[in-house]
Structure 1
Amino acid sequence: MGPRWKGKGSEGKALADPMSKIVSQLKSSLIQSDSHGLLSGCSVLLEVETEQTALLNRSCFGRPIITAQKDKQWFQLGMEEAFYLCYNLKCLKIFSYDECTKNDDELWNYMKSKRETFPDLFKAYSHLRTRNWVVRSGSQYGVDFIAYRHHPALVHSEYAVLVLSGGDGNANGRLRVWSDFQCTLRLCGSVAKTLLVLRIDKNGVGAGSPSCLESYSVEESTITRWSPEQSREDKTVAENGTEQEICFEHEPSSWSLQRTTSS
């Protein structure tokens, strides 16, 4: 399943204005204005100017908040979004209600206390973002994230992303039995998305500080329902008599492993 562009000219607009360029512009703008975000539960509130509002919308970071203050614009950033801007891009400072700026370790521990699986989710989020995918919440589809090739106004989301913990068990408790695969694949098929599973392997390193992310590795797998009409070559017959096809494919979008199974 390839990109599904929204209308004529959408692909050309995306190529003319790549996401990497937009994010770079946002980074420069936030650094120049010395932007600060405010911790608020499981999100970060960010007061921005008109230029930054446009860049946040174009790069798909956070969501605008409607307030009674007409001269001010506020954005609500998710934890992964806020930490990516703070830790990876170094363009945002975050402070708490006591007006103390949080350093990377303090912010990391705060976010871990709010969500046990934050280290795995953030590694997956940053893995996609650094490859210039737009990443949004996938809660409406029962997954962790939704990945877009460019801005959602130009293209439909391509991947429904599930994040699994490798090496130390499946922390989120999903895809443990075959029926989990069937339900998830049927849901993804009904909304025209490919299921992308990102398995995070901590390689024996604890999550005490954000520096652990350098030791984490990500295994990428796309899983789709097997179709005999589309898969007439290179078939192997499993011991139980069902036909399965396993194909390894390198794609421009960097997904290295595609596994197609019957369901």
Structure 2
Amino acid sequence: MEKRLFWERESVQKQVDSGAKKMTSEEIREKRRADRKQFKLDRAAAIAKVAAEAETIFETEGRVVVPALFGPEIPSGATWKPKTAESELALEQESGSPENAKSKGEDEGEGEEEEEPLEDMEHLQLTLPEAFFLAWNFDCLTILDPETDEPLSLPEIWITFQQIYLAPPIPTLPTPELQLDNPFLIHYAVYHHYRSLGWVVKNGLKFCVDYLLYKRGPVFTHAEFAIVVCPVYEDPQDQEVSITNLQNASPFTWSWLSTINRANSQVMKTLILTYVTIPARSRLSREMLNTPACFAHYSVREVIVRRFIPARMRD
């Protein structure tokens, strides 16, 4: 289960406002970056100070002193410690500035306000393949009819998900018959294929692909593979008379493939072209589409595309 980032962030922020010491993972990351930046600044300042002292000794005493880059006066990763809020507060109190005293008095004069309950702004959003996989294979998801608010049966979900992609542009027009090249069937075949092999499948829109494959999930590791779904018609004449416009059904350009492959290679992902063979209409009737048994006539094949990177592949 993925982390609920919004809920965690807002809950921790409320605790911080009330005086509790807790940070979110994002705040910890930003603090580490700020500490590394401050360490570099402190080290550079210490080296400059030692160099200035060596220059002063040369001008006053005539002795040549080589500025040390290491030593007790030069902070290192093992000895340097970031300034904490307590130490900064102690320095402000020692300075005794009237502004600090004024703000302290204002804080003490303020009364405690009643906290408003935190509203959960997050919600789980599933794609159609994810929803049907949970409803069909695990029976752990209930899908309601938006008009009647009644649960849909599995056959109704199956037909409804296919009709979503066949909805006519004008509501008054009748819905076309079920098609063998329905985009829901194509993408669910790929989703079910990799889920059955133990992969965690997520949407790959961020990297311009259809799916991303994780070993354990986005919370634990980065995706290792990027999937591009490529439908292939068993009978080429079916594509000519098809009423659906499948993406990547026609041969894509070399420049497009090179761009996608390069973009995913830069983030250490292997590009996989997953070809889904659509059965011919001549040997399979549309009545088979009334049940998921039609998937027995679809096939999935993978082709790995790797980009040669001379700087990484010399060994």
Task: Report TM bin, short chain.
Answer: 0.5 to 0.7
Please tell me whether Structure 1 or Structure 2 has the larger radius of gyration of its CA atoms.
2
Q: Distance in 2 between matches of 1:202 and 1:64?
A: 40
Offset of 1:186 from its aligned partner?
Answer: 1.1
Which of 267, 273, 276 is 1:191 aligned to?
A: 267
Which of 162, 169, 191 is 1:112 aligned to?
A: 162
Q: Distance in 1 between matches of 2:5 and 2:151?
A: 23
Offset of 1:167 from its aligned partner?
Answer: 1.7
Q: Distance in 1 between matches of 2:273 and 2:218?
A: 21
Moved more, 144-153 or 202-211: 202-211
SS of equivalent to 1:76: coil
Which of 183, 192, 197 is 1:126 aligned to?
A: 192
Whether 1:156 and 2:231 are equivalent positions in the alignment is: no
Look up the match of 1:211. Answer: 293
Whether 1:101 and 2:167 are equivalent positions in the alignment is: no
Q: Name stretches of at least 5 consecutive residues in structure 1 with no aligned partner.
A: 1-55, 233-263
Normalising by structure 1, we get a TM-score of: 0.56
Q: Would the alpha carbon gap of residues 162 and 71 (structure 1) be closer, same or farther in structure 2, given more than 3 Å must change? A: closer
Look up the match of 2:302. Answer: 220
Look up the match of 2:203. Answer: 137
Look up the match of 1:78. Answer: 127
* 8 Å contact from structure 1 (residues 65, 75) kept in 2: no
Q: Which has the higher contact order (CA 8 A, sep 6+)?
A: 1
Percentage of pairs with the same residue: 27
Q: Would the alpha carbon gap of residues 114 and 69 (structure 1) be closer, same or farther in structure 2, given more than 3 Å must change? A: farther
Offset of 1:135 from its aligned partner?
Answer: 0.9
Name the aligned partner's letter for residue 218 of structure 2. Answer: P
* 8 Å contact from structure 2 (residues 231, 248) kept in 1: no
Q: Would the alpha carbon gap of residues 227 and 71 (structure 1) be closer, same or farther in structure 2, given more than 3 Å must change? A: closer
SS of equivalent to 2:221: coil
Q: Distance in 1 between matches of 2:120 and 2:214?
A: 32
SS of equivalent to 1:164: strand
Q: Distance in 1 between matches of 2:186 and 2:308?
A: 29
Q: Distance in 1 between matches of 2:126 and 2:6?
A: 10
SS of equivalent to 2:213: strand
SS of equivalent to 1:184: helix
Offset of 1:208 from its aligned partner?
Answer: 2.2
Q: Distance in 1 between matches of 2:133 and 2:159?
A: 15
Q: Distance in 2 between matches of 1:157 and 1:73?
A: 24
Q: Would the alpha carbon gap of residues 74 and 177 (structure 1) be closer, same or farther in structure 2, given more than 3 Å must change? A: closer
Which aligned segments of 4 or more residues in structure 1 are displaced greater than 4 angstroms?
A: 63-66, 68-74, 227-232
Offset of 1:183 from its aligned partner?
Answer: 1.2
In the alignment of these two chains, the number of paired residues is 172
Offset of 1:226 from its aligned partner?
Answer: 3.7
Name the aligned partner's letter for residue 173 of structure 1. Answer: N
Whether 1:202 and 2:278 are equivalent positions in the alignment is: yes
* 8 Å contact from structure 2 (residues 2, 218) kept in 1: no
Offset of 1:57 from its aligned partner?
Answer: 3.6
Deviations 1:84-133 (A, max 9, x none): 01112233232212133222332122222333511111110111111111
Root-mean-square deviation (CA, aligned residues, Å) is 3.3
